[in-house]
Chain A
C-alpha cells in the first residue's frame, strides 16, 4: 500500500468507529432497535448488559459477514446474514448463562430478540457486506458502543428516578418516594422522548453555529 494513502485510510477508520458514538448514534439519531431500548432500560445494569451483548453480536456478525461478502450471492444475503446473527446471539445467550444466571433471568427474552434488532441486520447490509473486515469491526464496535451509551443514558435516568438508585447503589435518603412510572414501559417512552429532544436541540445548535461560522468566513 503506498505510504501516501495511509493518513486517508487512518482518518476513515477512525471515522468508522466515531460516527456510531455520536453523529450516527443508532438510538438517538437513527432511532433503531427501539424494542430493547424501551424494554430493558429499567435499570443501569440491564442496560449495560444488553448494550454489551448487542455490541458483541454486532462486532462478530459484521466481521463474519465482511469476511464472507464475496462468497455470499446477493439473492440469499439476508437469509445468510440472519443465520450468522442468530448464531452469535445463541453464543452470547450461552455465555451470559455461564457468567450469571441472575443476569440472564433479568434480560429474559430480550437476549434472543437481538436476532431481530434491525441495527445489526442494518449494519451487515449497509456496511459489512461492502467493506473490509477491519473497517466492519470498527463500525460494529462504534455502533455497538453508541447503542450501549444510549441504553445507559436511558437506564441511568430511569433507575435513578424509578428506583432511587444507580447500578443498585441507593442515591437518596429512605424518605425518597420512587417514581414507579419511570420503570414501567411508559417511563421508557418519556425518557427516550426527552433524550431525543436534547439530541435534536444540540444538533440544531451545532448546525446554526456552523452556518454562522461559514457566513463569517
Chain B
C-alpha cells in the first residue's frame, strides 16, 4: 500500500482533499499545499523542478511533453496513443510504467508493449524509480488524450477549460481514493481476522456497555444533566411536591445539597414561602442564577457551605417545616451524606412539645433490597477474561477486583430469586433514624425461582418512599419493619420509586457483589432452594465508603459462603 500512497501523495494531485485512511503524515503535507492562501507553499513551485526520465533510456526531460516527444522520436513509442489503445486506467498506467522501467533496468531494452498480461501484476505497483515524475503525470496523460491537446496548448486555454479540467481530475482522484480506501480497510480487516477473537461478536454490546458506564458523564455539567435526566428520580420528587401542594403552601423548606436547585424550585412553585438551599459546591452560583432567571430568587435563599457549619438561619427564621434532600448514593449509603441531612433536621426542624419532630422529611423512608443473581455472560466477560489476555495469564488482576461492589444495572432476567413477597431486608423512617442506625446487620432469606448453574452474585438496591403523613411521636424507632413499605406506599399522595433491576434504570443502578469462587465453579441449584444468611453494611474508616459483608448457606447444603465487599 505504501507505494500507491507515495505515488498519490507526491504528485500535483496531492492538492486534492483526501480521506483519513491515507498516510496521515503525508496527508498533512497535502493539506499544507492546499492552504496556499494562508501563505503556505504553492503547489506550482514543485512543477518548476520537473524531471522526467525516459522509459527506455537515461535521457531526462524537463517537461512531460518533451519526454513524450523524445520517446516518440528516439524509441518510436507514443505513450498517449499506447494508453488509449489499451484503455489503461490510473493503476494500469502505473503498473505499465513500472513494468517497463524494471525490464529496462534488468537489461531488456525492448519490453513487451502489446500483451497487457506482461504488466498486469500487483508487484508493479511498487515504483522502480524514486520520485518517478512519469507516475505523477498519469492524470495529465489522460487529460491530453481526452482533450486531444498537448500540455502547451492547454496552458494557453482560458480559465473555464482549466476549471473543467481540474474538476475532471478531482472526480477521477476521488474515485481512485475510494479504491484506495477500500483496500486499506480490507487489509485492516484482514489483519484483524488473522486472529479472530472469541469476543468478536460482542464488540457492539461492549461498546454500548462502555457508553453506558464510566466515561458517559465526564464533566462538570454532565453530573447534573445525568441526575436531572434521571426521570425516575426527578419525577418522583416533582410528583410528590406538586401533588401535595397543600403541604408546601406557605411553609419554610430547607434543601440540603441543592445542586442546580431543581428541588428548591419545585418547592417554590408548589407555594413554599421560603426555601433555604444549601450546597458546598461551586454549582450553587449557577443555581442562584437559574433561580433568578426563573423569577424564583425571592423565594429561594442560597447558602454556600456545609450544613454542619450552619448554626442559624438567615433573617428571623428559627425553624423549617420541611427538609427536602436528594442525598442517596450508590447502594443507598455510599458517600454517607444522610448524617448531614440528619444534622439539618435535628438543628432546624420544627418540634412538638414532646420534642418529636413536627415537620416533614422529603423523602420520608428508604429501604434496602437483596436478591440472588446468576449471570454467566458477565462472569465470562469480566472474570474468566483475565485468565487469557492476548495469550497472557493475568488472573492476578482479579485479586481485589471481586472485593469491590460493581455498580451496574443487571438485566432483569439475571435476578433468579427473591425475598418473601419481594420485601426489603431493612427499612428506615427518616424522621426518626439516627446516624448509627445506618450501619446495620440484618438476617435475610431468599428463594430461587429457577434452576441455576451457579450463584454468581448478590444484588442490592434501594426504594425511596415519599409519605405525606406526619412523623410519629417521640421514641419511635429509626429502623422499621420491612412490611411497612406496602402500607406507606399505598397512602393517598405517597410516591415511591425503586432502583431495582426490574424497573427503569436510574443513575444509581444497582450494587452487585460478585461471589468470588477463586477460580472454581459453583454448584448447580434448583428452583425453590432457599438461601438464608445475614448481611452487614458498615461505613469504612474514612467515612464516605461502605463495607458490605455477607454470610449465607442454602438449606440443601449445596451453596455456602462468606465474603466482604467494598464500595470506595
Partners in one complex: no
Residues of A within 8 A of B (CB): none
